Amino acid sequence: MRLSAPTGDTPWRAPSSYWPALTSAIAGRPLPCATLDATAVEHNASDLVHRAAGLPIRVATKSVRSRPVLQAVLQLPGFAGVLAYTLAEAVWASTWCADVVLGYPTADRAALSDLLADERACRHVTLMIDSIDHLDLIDSVAAPGVRPEVRVAIELDLAYDPPRAGRITGRIGVYRSPISTVTAARALARAVVGRAGFALVGAMGYEAQLAGIGDALLTAESWPGRLANTATSARTLILRRLQSDSWFDVLARRAAMVAAISDITGGLEFVNGGGTGSIHLTRQDPSVTEVAAGSGLFGPTLFDGYRAFTPAPAAAFALPVVRRPSAEIATVLGGGWIASGPPGPSRVPRPVWPQQMRMIANEGAGEVQTPLRGPGASDLRVGDLTWWRHAKAGELCEHIDELVVVRTTGRAGAQAGPGDVTAEVVDTIPTYRGEGKAFL
């Protein structure tokens, strides 16, 4: 797979031409079929780089899960290194990427044994820790005197605990690291520096309450089935206020914790922060040296709800109609590719073409078949294709062995008609699953 600078084409903005063009491009291929639009990926990559404003972007592998895609993105200006999600993946990734940071602590003794037996991998992989327990675990697998030095980074907790405001109380963010204060950061940094066999080289602070929660009002068009009403409008306005307050808290606490760690180490190689949804904020933090992003390359539906950016729907998948139970219902093969997170409509894959189709409430997205109802379903015949977008990015690749890479061109706009958008298959590349890699 090859990527270059964006051409300026935005054919996905003409859905009535775009999705039929993809249908023609993949004619005759085995189904279900997942596509990746190189034109859209280039558009999204350029947007990420623009919003990062000079900070290098470390690519989050969990949101991609295809080695050829990761390698192609790393060739683009503005991207450097990967953020892995399991140690086994990180050790494997170190064979094709020289800068691998494990974004989560590990308790995988087998993978630790592989890492510590490989001096080259130890030079290229940085482990994430948030307690002395992680150091103890590493030493229990191989003592400092018989293994290479281990590079580690400290994860900082940046969740927000707002003051009581009416009924709104409690933590805003995710439960990750216990290191949330300068005192805790300083204590752990001293423990690492004072311990043989470890090099403290970095820190990471992920502001999930900013990067992973959309702040746009949802409408029938942007999020079918979840209409914006008075209640959702009020919740969105409250969320925006909490995110604003949280950002000032993040700025102050991250800078203070990073300064405390740097005072002990004499400096850090990197301080990682942010995610696709918060790059435009994280770039403003002078304590951060790089940002992380991955989902923004594929543009899943969870990122339809942000005001700061609008990613192109680069990744999609096609499911064929296999039966017609009635004149109003078309049933497709598969569909039950539910995303992780709190169960609900936001985690369900969305049919996007034909338009005006919805799942049936008491069946939802089925393990083997999914019935669809609505005006868009009434004209479908057995064998016709429906197009879908996944709720999250990389999890799509856990369902398929390969991505069919297409390149689309054409005029965008509501007046675009048949032939104004073209699509051709330019490559077929494996996912992690297609390479026999099932890390998590």
SS3 category, 264: helix
Task: State the average pLDDT over residues 217-245.
Answer: 56
Give me the residue label for tokens 């602070």.
Answer: 205
- The torsion angles phi and psi of 153, rounded to 5 degrees, stand at -130, 150
First to last CA, the chain: 25
- The torsion angles phi and psi of 121, rounded to 5 degrees, stand at -60, -40
Q: Which letter does DSSP use for residue 86 in this model?
A: S
The closest of 124, 116, 113, 192 to 147, measured between CA atoms, is 116
Task: State the average pLDDT over residues 335-346.
Answer: 92
Look at residue 221 and tell me whether its pLDDT is greater than 80: no
Q: Is 254 in contact with 83 (CB distance < 8 Å)?
A: no
User: Higher model confidence: residue 155 or residue 214?
Assistant: 155
Write out pLDDT tens, residues 124-181.
Answer: 999 999 999 999 999 999 999 999 999 999 999 998 887 765 555 567 778 899 999 9
Q: What is the 3-state secondary structure (H, E, C) of 162-227?
A: CCCECCECCCECCCCCCCCCHHHHHHHHHHHHCCCCEEEEEEEECCHHHHCCCCCCCCCCCCCCCC
Write out pLDDT tens, residues 363-411.
Answer: 999 999 999 999 999 999 999 999 999 999 999 999 999 999 999 998 7
Look at residue 415 and tell me whether its pLDDT is greater than 50: yes
Tokens for 318, please give them: 């096609």
Task: State the average pLDDT over residues 8-22.
Answer: 95
Q: Is 86 in contact with 75 (CB distance < 8 Å)?
A: no
The closest of 75, 198, 83, 182 to 136, measured between CA atoms, is 198
> Please, which pLDDT band fits residue 223 given cuts at 50, 70 and 90?
very low
User: How much is the pTM?
Assistant: 0.92
Distance CA 168, CA 165 (A): 5
Residues linked to residue 203 through DSSP beta bridges, in sequence order: 154, 271
What is the CB-side half-sphere exposure of residue 388 using CA atoms within 13 A?
32
Task: State the average pLDDT over residues 190-215.
Answer: 89
- The torsion angles phi and psi of 86, rounded to 5 degrees, stand at -135, 160
To the nearest 10 degrees (0 to 180), the angle between helices 230-265 and 182-193 is 40
Look at residue 228 and tell me whether its pLDDT is greater than 50: no
Average pLDDT score over the chain: 91
Distance CA 241, CA 246 (A): 8
Question: What is the predicted pLDDT for the residue at 210?
Answer: 78
Look at residue 219 and tell me whether its pLDDT is greater than 90: no
Task: State the average pLDDT over residues 93-109.
Answer: 98
The closest of 360, 278, 367 to 326, measured between CA atoms, is 360
Q: What share of the chain in percent tops pLDDT 90?
A: 79
Task: State the average pLDDT over residues 22-42.
Answer: 98
Distance CA 105, CA 48 (A): 26
Of the listed ranges 175-179, 260-264, 316-320, the least confidently predicted one is: 175-179
